[in-house]
Structure 1
Amino acid sequence: MNNPYFKQLSLYILNKDKMPDLAILAEKLQEVAFVPCMGLDWDSVGFANPVPFGSNIVFPAQNTWRIALKKEEKVLPAAVVRDILDEKINEIRETERRNVGRKEKLELKETITDDLLPRAFTKSSKTEAIMDAKYGFLMINQSSSVRAEILLTKLREALGGLEAKQPRTKQSPGSLITEWLLRGSAAGHFELDSDCELKGLGDAAPVVKISRHDLTVEEINNLLRSGKIVTQLGLSWQDRVRFVLTQNFTLKRIQFLDVIQEEAASQGDDIESLTFTSQILMAEALSELITELIDHLGGLIPE
């Protein structure tokens, strides 16, 4: 089965009062549902079933709604086009006794590409997200801001608009994780884990990556005192979630620990029950984690 748990996260704050209801969300996403690449199309993007069972375009679990944006792309290796083009150029030289100019080469290449495209292999990918109506969060299973924005843009287009903004806090995440690492401990329900990334100032500054190491040792403090800042910090939360927090407020390498997975499994081990329960527990843990983290950052800056 597909893994129901997110491994990374980009966060957007939604206006809870202006969120669409479930029926409207499903209706609007169905209107822009994914269709495979056809003919001379290079790619196709649309919303698709987010779970490996059923056919609904939104998978609801209590106040959380899982969606998925699917992208399919044609794969046409440049070497294949180049080999066929070389053969065609050699054929013209031998049969017509003339050279092929630059413009004609480009035209031949376009013709060859158009001929091959309908028969090209395809590759597909999905970007999942959960809309949490209780907390007003859009959580995207993606650490790349570019890919997260693609899903958000498509969601806005489908709904005819959606109030969603990146979290802007009074203290920056980079400043907070640097402060926590410098003092050798986190705050609240957070604890330091065993990974971090430090970076000096300037465009060509060196980057130091530390993995599976005690983060309270003097050597790391010395690096911080020399002017380096923390760009990524491994943390755990309530012994339920491990993750790496970045200076851009994204979460990477998320791991939901045994206590959550065992709780989900206790509610039923068939794929639908497990996905339903896992989604509720995952979203609740992430939303509570994020809410506490925002508090440590001094709260959101009002627009």
Structure 2
Amino acid sequence: MFKNMIVYRIAPQWQVELTQVEDALAKAPFTECGATQEKSLGWVPPRGDAHGPLAESVGGQWILRFMVESKVLPGSVLARKVKEKAERIEQETGRKPGKKESKELKDEAKLDLLPMAFTKQGSMWIWIDTASRLLVLDTSSQGRADEVVTLLVESLPGLSVSLINTQTSPQAAMSHWLKEQEPPVGFTVDRECELKSASEEKSVVRYARHALDIEEVQAHIDAGKLPTKL
């Protein structure tokens, strides 16, 4: 289920029941974007069942699911629409729109185009381990994690979390696992990996459905590339 993890420690004073979480999330359910709405976010049933619970307990572990939908409006399309409006004003009045009016034209053009724009959706799994007091988000993006944590804190009164910093960075740990082929108990080195250079070139090497216990992988690590996915 989880392909990525950003982990937070939940403050000890937050003590709630699953029913309280359900009631809180029900106040911010996900709904699709309206005609002129650029972005919509909220909570959906983890199992995908219509009208199902928004918070589920699986073996004592709480599972939530966050959903976001946004309109796809290419910048070139918006710019063309603004240009058309500006040219129309110039033809009708003999003057070019000023800076303030151009901004208003852009907002107007966006409202014209949004109802016709395609939408894209993305979801994120959230795992709350109440015994260990951990909040785990299925993402590698700190920006997306911040968005979800903000919504959680707004939805769940009293919730306070802090990002967990490990003594060994994930990249260093994964480098060791790859080089030694000795992952910790409960983990395996499979057949997919992404290695990224820290240099200015930001070169990336990806392996998919490929053995990773080869000299080529070792050479990339020795050259300074770090695993970002494993």
Question: Normalized against structure 2, the TM-score is what?
Answer: 0.75
Deviation at 1:155, TM superposition (A): 0.3
Q: How does 1:42-57 map to 2 (within 5 A)?
A: 42-55=38-51, 56-57=53-54
Which blocks of at least 5 consecutive residues in structure 2 are unaligned? none
Q: Write the letter of the residue equivalent to 2:212.
A: L
Which of 21, 25, 28 is matched with 1:25 structurally? 21
Which of 147, 150, 154 is matched with 1:153 structurally? 150
Deviation at 1:129, TM superposition (A): 1.3
Q: Write the letter of the residue equivalent to 1:107.
A: E
Which of 121, 124, 128 is matched with 1:127 structurally? 124
Matching of residue 173 in structure 1 with residue 170 in structure 2: yes
Deviation at 1:180, TM superposition (A): 3.0
Question: What's 1:99 paired with?
Answer: 95
Structure 1: how far apart are the matches of 2:179 and 2:161?
33
CA RMSD of aligned residues (A): 3.4
Matched residue count:
228
Deviation at 1:25, TM superposition (A): 0.9
Tell whether the 8 Å contact from 1:16 to 1:133 is kept in structure 2 after alignment: no
Deviation at 1:23, TM superposition (A): 1.5
Q: How does 1:1-303 map to 2 (within 5 A)?
A: 5-15=1-11, 18-38=14-34, 40-55=36-51, 56-96=53-93, 98-103=94-99, 104-117=101-114, 120-199=117-196, 202-204=199-201, 206-224=203-221, 226-228=222-224, 230-232=226-228, 244=230
Structure 2: how far apart are the matches of 1:230 and 1:108?
46
More helix by share: 1
Tell whether the 8 Å contact from 1:199 to 1:207 is kept in structure 2 after alignment: yes
Which blocks of at least 5 consecutive residues in structure 1 are unaligned? 234-243, 245-303
Question: What's 1:247 paired with?
Answer: none
CA-to-partner distance for each residue in 1:85-110, whole Å, 9 max, x for gaps? 444444444444x1323334443333
Deviation at 1:127, TM superposition (A): 2.2
Q: Provide the identity percentage.
A: 28
Structure 2: how far apart are the matches of 1:203 and 1:100?
43
Structure 2: how far apart are the matches of 1:215 and 1:85?
51
Residues 24 and 85 from structure 1, CA distance in 2 versus in 1: closer, same or farther, beyond 3 angstroms?
A: same
Q: Secondary structure at the residue paired with 1:60?
A: strand
